[in-house]
Amino acid sequence: MSGSIIPTLRYRDAGAAIDFLANALGFDVLMLVEGDEGIVEHAQLTHGTGMIMLSSVRRSEWEQLIDDGRDPVGRGATYVVVDDPYAHAEQARAKGAEILAEPEGQDYGGAVYTVRDPEGNIWSFGSYDPWAG
């Protein structure tokens, strides 16, 4: 699909991230390519019609970035459209997710809540769909 934007995230423990995203936040694993020692080379997870891709950050890459003063994980923020953010938040909470902002109605429409994944990425789930116009 031309023009699609697919967020791509890096994790120190991509396997644990995939478990969290699937179990606590309702993502489906579409593709998982693992390398040596459980390294996630590439994963595609879907949520409704949206998709993210993720992988493990390799130790040498991580060390180089840290030496440069950058951290390759825990810096992203992603918004996902869901039908019922209140129910979604309860599911996430039941699975141990850290809720940063409780579900709340927004002036621009819909409701949204925010959660942090185990490596610091911020996820917001809301019923406002900017494509619906």
Q: Residue 2 domain-assigned?
A: no
Query: Which of 84, 83, 75, 57 shows the shortest CA–CA distance to 123?
Result: 75
pLDDT, position 50: 93
pLDDT in tens, 67-78: 555 665 666 778
pLDDT, position 48: 94
Q: Residue 118 domain-assigned?
A: yes
The total domain count for the chain is: 1
Q: Residue 82 domain-assigned?
A: yes
Angle at 91 between CA 101 and CA 33, to 5 degrees: 100
What would you measure as the largest C-alpha separation in the chain, in angstroms? Answer: 48
pLDDT, position 1: 38
* CATH (domain of 43): 3.10.180.10
Q: Residue 104 domain-assigned?
A: yes
In a 13 Å sphere around the CA of 91, the CA atoms on its Cβ side amount to 15
Q: Residue 133 domain-assigned?
A: no
Of 51-60, 77-86, 119-128, where does mean pLDDT reach its minimum?
51-60
β-pair type (111-116, 122-126):
antiparallel
Domain that holds residue 86: 8-126
* pTM, 2 dp: 0.73
Which is it for the CA torsion 27, 7, 75, 106, positive or negative? negative
